[in-house]
């Protein structure tokens, strides 16, 4: 199947790869745009994982205000000021701030969960009636699964991204790492809702 220049450009825009790479991906997928896009995203995510080890200290602090009732401040870092000023990066920060407003995460990632909170939740789940009479090893597996689900809902990077629930926020950030060619780190955020009492 013939590959059109429009498809090559579209694939390039969506993935941040060069024209040659986009053309080769489409040819390898026999002109199947979705298959080529999936393949390029996988390659991009692999590269993004490697970039994740590089230090990111530039960046911006983004804000979002929803209806004067919910406010969000988020710090997102890149490796260079050049990328921090890029429209793709600034749009990412806006999207993240909007997601935080809508989804109320508590932590950036699972690494930020205090051990005491994790242990307390584990004990609470182990004491539930549903686990009574189950063998200890089975109960532990069930609780680990429940813990993973409970904290995934509270960790920004593990939440389904509001504009595309088929991917996590973490994967959405990795896509941008692949597009921009730099490590990107969501450093911290704060969400304030009108009338909400801080815990």
User: Which residue matches tokens 């390898």?
Assistant: 28
- Residue 92: which pLDDT band, with cuts at 50, 70 and 90? very high
Domain boundaries along the sequence of the chain: 5-51, 58-108+154-193, 114-152
- Taking residues 77-90, report their average pLDDT: 93
Contact 22, 8 (CB under 8 A): yes
In the numeric block, the tokens 């704060």 are attached to: 190
* pLDDT for the residue numbered 78: 92
The CATH topology of domain 58-108+154-193 is Tetrahydropterin Synthase; Chain A (3.30.479)
Q: In which band, very low, low, confident or very high, does the pLDDT at 187 lie, cut at 50, 70 and 90?
A: very high
Q: How confident is the model at residue 38 (pLDDT cuts 50, 70, 90)?
A: confident
Map the chain to HEC letters.
Answer: CCCCHHHHHHHHHHHCCCHHHHHHHHHHCCCCHHHHHHHHHHHHHHHHHHHCCCCCCEEEEEEEEECCCEEEEEEEEECCHHHHCCHHHHHHHHHHHHHHHHHCCCECCHHHCCHHHHHHHHHHHHCCHHHCCCCHHHHHHHHHHHHHHHHHCCEHHHCEECCEEEEEHHHHHHHHHHHHCCCCEEEEEEEEECCCCCC
CATH, range 114-152? 1.10.286
pLDDT digits (tens, 9 = 90+) for 143-185: 888 888 888 899 999 999 999 999 999 999 999 988 888 889 9
What distance in Å separates the CA atoms of residue 144 and residue 146, rounded to the nearest whole number? 5
Q: What is the pLDDT of residues 1-31, one digit of tens each?
A: 577 888 887 777 766 666 777 788 888 888 8
| Structure confidence at residue 159 (pLDDT) | 96
Share of the chain above pLDDT 90, in %: 40
CATH architecture of residue range(s) 5-51: Orthogonal Bundle (1.10)
Confidence bin at 50 (pLDDT 50/70/90): low
Residue 180 near residue 50 (C-beta atoms within 8 A) = no
Contact 55, 79 (CB under 8 A): yes
Strands 185-193 and 160-161: unpaired
- pLDDT for res 39: 77
Distance CA 161, CA 100 (A): 10
Give the whole-number percent of the chain exceeding pLDDT 70: 88
pLDDT of 100-133, one tens digit each?
999 999 999 988 998 898 889 888 887 777 777 7
Compute φ and ψ for 44, nearest 5 degrees. -65, -40
């Amino acid at each position: 199947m013939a590959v059109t220049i429009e498809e090559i450009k579209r694939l390039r825009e969506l993935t941040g790869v060069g024209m040659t790479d986009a053309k080769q991906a489409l040819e390898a997928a026999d002109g199947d745009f979705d298959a080529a896009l999936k393949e390029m995203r996988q390659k991009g995510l692999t590269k993004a994982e490697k970039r994740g080890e590089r230090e990111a200290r530039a960046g911006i602090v983004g804000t979002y205000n929803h209806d004067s009732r919910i406010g969000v401040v988020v710090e997102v870092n890149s490796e260079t000021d050049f990328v921090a000023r890029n429209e793709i990066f600034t749009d990412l920060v806006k999207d993240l701030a909007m997601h935080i407003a809508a989804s109320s995460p508590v932590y950036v990632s699972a690494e930020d969960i205090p051990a005491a909170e994790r242990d307390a939740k584990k004990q609470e789940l182990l004491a539930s009636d549903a686990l009574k009479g189950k063998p200890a090893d089975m109960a532990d597996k069930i609780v680990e699964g429940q813990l993973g689900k409970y904290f995934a809902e509270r960790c920004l990077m593990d939440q389904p991204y509001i504009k595309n629930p088929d991917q996590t926020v973490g994967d959405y950030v990795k896509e941008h790492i692949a597009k921009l060619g730099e490590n990107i780190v969501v450093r911290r955020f704060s969400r304030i809702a009108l009338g909400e009492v801080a815990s």
